Structures are given as C-alpha cells and as structure tokens.
Structure 1
Amino acid sequence: MDSRLSRVTLRIRGYHLDGYGHVNNARYLEFMEEGRWGYFDDRPDVARLFASGNPALVAVNLNINYRLAAVAGDDLEVLTRLAELGGRSARMHQEIRRIRDGKVVADANLTFVLLDVKANQSLAIEGEYREALAPLVMGDEGVA
C-alpha cells in the first residue's frame, strides 16, 4: 500500500445499525473521522505541528456518497489520503470499503483549512505546514 494512504479497519456491530438493520448514515461520518485520526496517528511528525491546537485543522465542507449498505458483521476499511493541497485549503478523500469483496460502501471529500484559533481566521498553508503536507498529496491518478 502506498505510504501516503492510511488504512483503518473496523467491524460493524449492532449499535452501529438503525431500525432498518443497516449502518445509519451518521455513523459513516464517525467512521471517516476515525480514518482521519488514524491518518495523523500514522504521521506523528505532521500531527505534532497541530498538537497545540493552534493552528487547528478545521473541516469546512464535506461531500459524501452512500453507495452500499453495510450490515452487522461486515468488516470495513477506511482509506484516507490527502488528495489536494491549495494555498488556503486542502482536500482529503476517503473511501469505506467492505473488506470481503472490496466494494465501496461510501466515499467522501472533505475540505479543511488551517485556522488561527485565537484570531478566528483561516491561514495560508505555507512554511512548515506546506513542507509537511505537500509530500503526502496523492491525487486521483493511479488510485485503485
């Protein structure tokens, strides 16, 4: 697996399900959040840049596609990558796949900014932040 891609696995439990017996749509957001935490866990040097909480990485947009229903007992993997790095924002792409057949259950694009928490203003992604994030960009080409 490409080192710019992170993988977190989980098993669907009964408490993930809604009244229809499949994973509730809001749970996928939690699964993707877990994937993003895992992404930075895999990159402690990058995570240290944001450990103080200022600046913070703040989600400003999320677009999610629900493709297939996941049910109790399914093993899923959350694949997370930095797909794009702009001057003032960046985009992460995530896929949740069912492990047994590799089918995509959901996918999403999340745009984030660097936020100066004290000033409540977004910052340009430059200097040490750009140096840390730029090598992690994995565009859409060549991704299976």
Structure 2
Amino acid sequence: MQDYIFEIQLKVRDYECDLQGVVNNAVYQNYLEHARHEYLSSKKTSFKELTEKDILLMVSRIEMDFKRSLTAGDTFSVKLRIAREGLKLLFFQDIFRSADNSLCLKAKVEVIAKVNGKLSRGEIFDTLSL
C-alpha cells in the first residue's frame, strides 16, 4: 500500500475524450498537474506566489504507465506522494477510477527548481513545507 499524502477527486469531461471514446493520453498530464497545483495550495502556497519570488518549479521528466482507460463521465481520484532525489522533487502520482477503484495510470514526475535564474540544489523543496 502506498503512503499517499494528498488526494483529489475529479470527473472526466466529454471534450477530454478522443474519437475512441477514451481520455486522450495528453489529458492525463493535465490531471497530474492539477493535482500538484492543488497539493501546493493545500500547503498554503501557489505557483503564482513562487513565480513572484523568482522561484520557478519546472517538470524535467515525466514517466506515465497507462493501465486502464477513463471514459466520459468517469469520476476518479489522483493520489500522490513525494520524495527527494538530489536536486529533484519526485511526485509519484496514481489515478484510480472511483467506480471500481481500478488503477488507470501510474506516473513519476521529476521537478526541478530555478531560484533567481539559477538551478537550485533543491533547498526550496524543504522550505515549502512539502
């Protein structure tokens, strides 16, 4: 069992589906990003506030393993946990369909930070109460 630290519930909108009737693969990145933004918000910060301080958090790599498709009207949860690895903050994010709790996607998102225009050693991840 994963030790998730955050979860958000979402619903698939019709326009997110392709001609085959399933969520387009690129849309999953939007779901993952939205969950990360909401996680930051739950920690009383935002990308906007960080950017105003010249702190830029950027995705450097994403690995996504598609397990099952979501379709229009499905409700689902995005769950995440985090870990530090050198300069990077790793988000391990899983998407589960609510109806049957089936795993639809496993993702690993690597995030780096630039502070005042320079690549950070990752100290900012500690100070964000992550």
* TM-score range for the pair, normalised by the shorter chain length: 0.7 to 0.9
Q: Distance in 2 between matches of 1:53 and 1:68?
A: 40
Q: Does the Cα contact within 8 Å between 2:11 and 2:76 map onto a contact in 1?
A: yes
Displacement of 1:86 after TM fit? Answer: 2.8
Instruction: Write the deviation string for residues 34-65 of structure 1: whole angstroms up to 9, x where unpaired.
Output: 11111111111587972525221111000001
Q: Distance in 1 between matches of 2:60 and 2:99?
A: 33
Aligned-residue CA RMSD (Å): 2.5
Which amino acid in structure 2 is aligned with residue 125 of structure 1?
A: G
Which amino acid in structure 1 is aligned with residue 59 of structure 2?
A: A
Q: Distance in 1 between matches of 2:121 and 2:56?
A: 12
For structure 1, list consecutive stretches of 5 or more residues without a partner in the other structure.
137-144
Q: Distance in 1 between matches of 2:32 and 2:17?
A: 16
**TM-score after normalising by structure 1:** 0.78
Secondary structure at 1:69 match in 2: coil
Q: Which has the higher strand share?
A: 2
Task: Give the length in aligned residue pairs.
Answer: 129
Q: Does the Cα contact within 8 Å between 1:4 and 1:81 map onto a contact in 2?
A: yes
Q: Could you say which residue in structure 1 is the equivalent of 2:86?
A: 87
Displacement of 1:132 after TM fit? Answer: 3.8
Q: Distance in 2 between matches of 1:13 and 1:49?
A: 29
Which amino acid in structure 2 is aligned with residue 123 of structure 1?
A: S
Q: Does the Cα contact within 8 Å between 1:98 and 1:105 map onto a contact in 2?
A: yes
Identity level (%): 21
Q: Could you say which residue in structure 1 is the equivalent of 2:98?
A: 99
Q: Distance in 1 between matches of 2:29 and 2:110?
A: 14
Establish whether residue 122 from structure 1 lines up as the match of residue 110 from structure 2.
no
